[in-house]
Amino acid sequence: MRPTAVKPFLPKLQRKLGLGLALTLSGAPGLFAQEPLPTHLPTESPRTVAYEMDVALAEDGHTISGQLKVTWVNQTSSPTDELYWHVYNNAWEGPQSAWLTEARMKGDDTMPREFGHTEVEWAHFLGITNPEGEVIGEGNLDLDFEYLPQPGAPLDRTVARVKLPRKVLPQHAVTVELHFTATMPRAFRRSGFGGEGYLHAVQWFPKLGVFEKVGGETSWNCPPYRYLVEFYADYGSYKVNLTLPARYENHFVTSGSILGTGAAHNESGTITYFTEAQDIHDYAWTVDPEARVIEREFRAEMYRDEEEEQKVARALGRSVEMVRPSPTKMILMLQPEHADLEERYFDALGKAIYYFGLWYGSYPYPTISCVDPANDARATGGMEYPRLITGGASLGVAETTLRPQGVTVHEFGHQFWYGLVGNDEFRHAWMDEGFNTFSTKRIMNKAFPAQLDTYSVFGTEYVGHAPLPMPSYESGDSRGFLSLEQWESPDLGFVPDVSLALRKHDSLGRFLAELPPVTYFPKVSHDSVLDEREKFRVAWGQPLQHPTMDLQDTMQRRINAYYRPALTLETMARLMGEERWTRVLRAYHERFRFQHPQPEDFLRTVQEFGHGASLKGENQSVTMDWANFWEHAYVGNAPMDFKVHHLTSIPSMQTGQTSGAPQFDVEIGITRSTDFAVPVEVRVTWEDGSATDLVWAGNDWVWTYQWSKHPMPAAKVEIDPRRRLLLDRDWSNNTFTREPHSENAWHVGVQTMLWAQQVLQYFGGVG
């Protein structure tokens, strides 16, 4: 145990000024110099690949065939005579694929209702070009498009390799051409078609992997399409000519820009869209003859948040005009049944373009398309591709659920974290999902009213929050009879067990039993950022640095890719202070826009732009050590938990004193329950409401602090009063109050009783 510091009581003036002064004394962490941020936004990518495609969609609405020509530039310092390809669509050709095999192993045995697959009919080598643009080597040679068996899935065909006739030297470019036919699956896990002509064409063409340094050696980073991963590719340009059945005219959205005034009409009765896009790393498109395609202009003036603009401008040392996002076109493909969601989609899209642009730099593309998926193709919803995202919502969804706003903001956010900063999603999914979740939650809190808990009746949602869950048992649990849910026959051994479902948890039945308008808490309001803490309920089994594709299950992926990094980033932001944090993220984004950053790149940026951040208390000031923080938050796997150990206020023993104001010896004790050491603020509130803010460096297990002969006893001690430490997994042990507020418990008790009373009244009439 560390020796305790002894602090005399606060000066009288400060006590009178109370909390306000205490806050001022504590202050925001660190001071900030407003020199201009030395980084800048790049305007174009390295353009490592250039795809040219001439493809047609068959009348069946889900078979795509055509030619693909790609030129790949070797941007590394190592030569190679191979090209590796992702053929993601082959994940859906049968149960033998790596994706479906791994899914089954992780307990998910769903299969596409209709499988899909991609066949490459031929591949040709067209030539190699040197940096000067001269063609070297023979052209038009046949190439063997060879699928590579994968560990655990020898029949998987999601990775292919072609051997080139000669090496591609650094800065040289190779061009190959191939013909392929992709039969898309019925909508399943991100891609596919629906029953009424909807087709979401993603990962529909053979796509090159990334030739880069992985683990110290330069090689093709091209793992198979696995259960827990998304996509990763090089930046470049796309020219795609798409021939479609005529019914799709004006019912088409794409990652590219449509050239000319629209579709060209062909003699065969089909139409062709000529499209192109620069500086993106994937190309997706969607058609739906039933959907409406609506366009609106985004202009920053429509979404102005002057306070935030000034904060960002001040933090970056730039003018407000420089940080204000530039215009773009918003395109929405909306299901006719969701006509009432049009405003919600556009509102979310506009606000997302505004805030992401303000914080990280303007969205650089001329369009962003958002697809509202068809009902029978919801599996394609909530996904991101460059310049094209999918949302998703249901009929009758209440405004207060913030659907589809939440998913729209999140998927648009991927234009920045994944699209513009293109991390390796196979290994470090947290670098896009985590950054994006962090950003999304901030926008949801800032630009939208709080989300409220709802219950559903016939699919329509109403505001309310049940005091307790209804008693329910797993199927097969004989206790289910107690709640009149099911009856299980006793285990007789020689006759088969019988299980009878006595009732069903349908929404109307539940409604009548629980009477939500009467018995539920009226408004339970969510804070998007704090909601991330919900995932503390699940064990955080693997550290953040664990490669995404090797995580143990989908829950661990959700924790490690989304929630944990979001909480980590929010904790860093709050420890660092808003303006310093704004610089850190902006610098990181500007440095790595159109790049493939690694986790160390982020840490270096934090250390460079976040140095000097400190927590200040009346006892001491502690400077943040970001490397140490990173060691705990990223490399290690220990949770964070601080706890109030004790608060004592004992009347002082004063020799010879018989009268006068009483005095107290006050002591607080704080413990750190885990290995995660980080500085922490502690606030002691006195009986008159004034407060003293202290800082503990957090590097010991226990910390005590004492006041002798203090004129009043302490009423409360609170760890992390400003809630900077979002990673602290238990806030219920952060506060000790001498006189707790029991009104919260009374309300819970009455509400629970009312609820139980009505449920019992209902069941009192059953049977």
Partner 1 sequence: MSKENTSHAESAPFNMPTTMVVDAFPVRDPARREAKDLAPRERSIGSHLAGGVWAALARPRLLLFLMGVSLVLPLVVALPAFFAADQHLSNFEAIPGGTPIDLPTVAPAWIFEEWFRAAPTERNLIAQSLAPLLILASLFNLVITAGWMRNALLKRRRHSLRTFLQCGGHFFFPFLRTWILALPMFACITWIFWGTPAEWLFERMLPEGDASQAASEQTGRWLETLRQVLFLIALWKTEILLDLARASMICGNRRSALVAIGRGIGFFLRSPWQVFGLMSLGFALELFWIAGAKAVQELAGWPMWTLLLILPFGRIVFRGARYVSLASFYAAKTHDSSAAEESREAQDEGDFPDMAF
- The secondary structure element, H or E, covering residue 245 is none
Q: How far is the CB of 242 from partner 1 (least distance, A)?
A: 24
Q: How far apart are CA 125 and CA 175, in angstroms?
A: 6
If binding is defined by CB under 8 A, does position 111 make contact with partner 1?
Answer: no
Which among 75, 224, 228, 80 has a CA at the least distance from the CA of 163? 80
Burial class for 739, CB neighbours closer than 10 Å (0-12, 13-18, 19+)? exposed
Q: How far apart are CA 95 and CA 104, in angstroms?
A: 9
* Span 211-250, contacts to partner 1 by CB under 8 A: none
Q: How far apart are CA 557 and CA 548, in angstroms?
A: 7
DSSP state of 247: G
Q: For partner 1, which residue of 13, 508, 653, 661 counts as binding (CB under 8 A)?
A: 508
Cβ distance to partner 1 smaller for residue 659 or 732: 732
Cβ distance to partner 1 smaller for residue 217 or 739: 739
Residues 323 and 309: beta-carbon distance below 8 Å: yes
Q: How far apart are CA 404 and CA 406, in angstroms?
A: 6
Cβ distance to partner 1 smaller for residue 262 or 459: 459
Number of residues binding to partner 1, judged by CB under 8 A: 92
Which among 683, 700, 603, 594 has a CA at the least distance from the CA of 360? 594
Cβ distance to partner 1 smaller for residue 414 or 510: 510
* Span 461-480, contacts to partner 1 by CB under 8 A: 465, 467-471, 473, 479
Q: How far apart are CA 418 and CA 92, in angstroms?
A: 24
If binding is defined by CB under 8 A, does position 506 make contact with partner 1?
Answer: yes
Cβ distance to partner 1 smaller for residue 63 or 758: 758
Alpha-carbon distances of 102 from 64, 179, 345, 547, 557, rounded to whole Å: 27, 30, 35, 16, 14
Q: How far is CA 181 from the centre of its chain?
A: 33
Q: For partner 1, which residue of 24, 34, 319, 525 counts as binding (CB under 8 A)?
A: 525
Q: How far is the CB of 667 from partner 1 (least distance, A)?
A: 19
* Span 534-563, contacts to partner 1 by CB under 8 A: 534, 536-537
Q: For partner 1, which residue of 78, 272, 483, 671 counts as binding (CB under 8 A)?
A: 483
Cβ distance to partner 1 smaller for residue 26 or 175: 26
* Span 126-165, contacts to partner 1 by CB under 8 A: none
If binding is defined by CB under 8 A, does position 299 make contact with partner 1?
Answer: no
Alpha-carbon distances of 375 from 87, 312, 415, 653, rounded to whole Å: 27, 40, 25, 75
Cβ distance to partner 1 smaller for residue 403 or 428: 403
Burial class for 45, CB neighbours closer than 10 Å (0-12, 13-18, 19+)? buried
Q: For partner 1, which residue of 41, 58, 530, 555 counts as binding (CB under 8 A)?
A: 530
Cβ distance to partner 1 smaller for residue 211 or 581: 581
Q: For partner 1, which residue of 476, 517, 662, 689 counts as binding (CB under 8 A)?
A: 517
If binding is defined by CB under 8 A, does position 394 make contact with partner 1?
Answer: yes
Q: How far apart are CA 302 and CA 290, in angstroms?
A: 30
Q: How far is the CB of 505 from partner 1 (least distance, A)?
A: 10
Q: How far apart are CA 529 and CA 533, in angstroms?
A: 8
Q: For partner 1, which residue of 458, 475, 651, 657 counts as binding (CB under 8 A)?
A: 458
Long-range (24+ apart) CB contacts under 8 A made by 493-496 are none
Q: Judged by CB under 8 A, which stretch of 26-34, 272-280, 434-442, 483-491 contacts partner 1?
A: 483-491
If binding is defined by CB under 8 A, does position 533 make contact with partner 1?
Answer: yes
Which neighbouring-strand residues pair with 719? 682
Q: For partner 1, which residue of 142, 337, 340, 700 counts as binding (CB under 8 A)?
A: 337
Q: How far is the CB of 322 from partner 1 (least distance, A)?
A: 29
* Span 613-672, contacts to partner 1 by CB under 8 A: none
Q: For partner 1, which residue of 122, 266, 487, 654 counts as binding (CB under 8 A)?
A: 487
Which among 134, 183, 138, 142 has a CA at the least distance from the CA of 162? 142
Which among 645, 648, 643 has a CA at the least distance from the CA of 733? 643
Site string for partner 1, 345-384 (x = CB under 8 A): -----------------------------xxx-x------
Output the CA torsion sign for 19, 24, 29, 34: positive
Alpha-carbon distances of 177 from 8, 66, 70, 135, 144, rounded to whole Å: 80, 11, 6, 16, 12
Cβ distance to partner 1 smaller for residue 92 or 626: 92
Q: How far is the CB of 19 from partner 1 (least distance, A)?
A: 10
Contacts of 366 (CB under 8 A, 6+ apart): 257, 328, 329
Q: How far is the CB of 709 from partner 1 (least distance, A)?
A: 28
* Span 418-457, contacts to partner 1 by CB under 8 A: 450, 453
Q: Judged by CB under 8 A, which stretch of 61-69, 261-269, 361-369, 496-504 contacts partner 1?
A: 496-504
If binding is defined by CB under 8 A, does position 514 make contact with partner 1?
Answer: no
If binding is defined by CB under 8 A, does position 523 make contact with partner 1?
Answer: yes
Q: How far is the CB of 281 from partner 1 (least distance, A)?
A: 32
If binding is defined by CB under 8 A, does position 504 make contact with partner 1?
Answer: yes
Residues 642 and 622: beta-carbon distance below 8 Å: no
* Span 730-759, contacts to partner 1 by CB under 8 A: 730-733, 735-737, 740-742, 744-754, 756-759
Cβ distance to partner 1 smaller for residue 177 or 288: 288
Q: How far is the CB of 380 from partner 1 (least distance, A)?
A: 13
Q: For partner 1, which residue of 147, 462, 521, 540 counts as binding (CB under 8 A)?
A: 521
Cβ distance to partner 1 smaller for residue 34 or 489: 489
If binding is defined by CB under 8 A, does position 322 make contact with partner 1?
Answer: no
Compute the C-alpha angle 296/300/303, nearest 5°.
90
Residues 74 and 171: beta-carbon distance below 8 Å: yes
If binding is defined by CB under 8 A, does position 194 make contact with partner 1?
Answer: yes
For residues 198-233, one letter each, b for 16 or more C-beta atoms within 10 angstroms of the residue's C-beta and e for the rest, the string is bbbbbbbbbbbbbbbeeeeebbbbbbbbbbbbbbbb
* Span 674-733, contacts to partner 1 by CB under 8 A: 721-723, 729-733
Q: Judged by CB under 8 A, which stretch of 31-39, 402-410, 413-421, 522-530 contacts partner 1?
A: 522-530
Residue with tokens 């955080």: 540
If binding is defined by CB under 8 A, does position 399 make contact with partner 1?
Answer: no
Q: How far is the CB of 115 from partner 1 (least distance, A)?
A: 15
Q: How far is the CB of 522 from partner 1 (least distance, A)?
A: 6
3-state secondary structure at position 692: strand
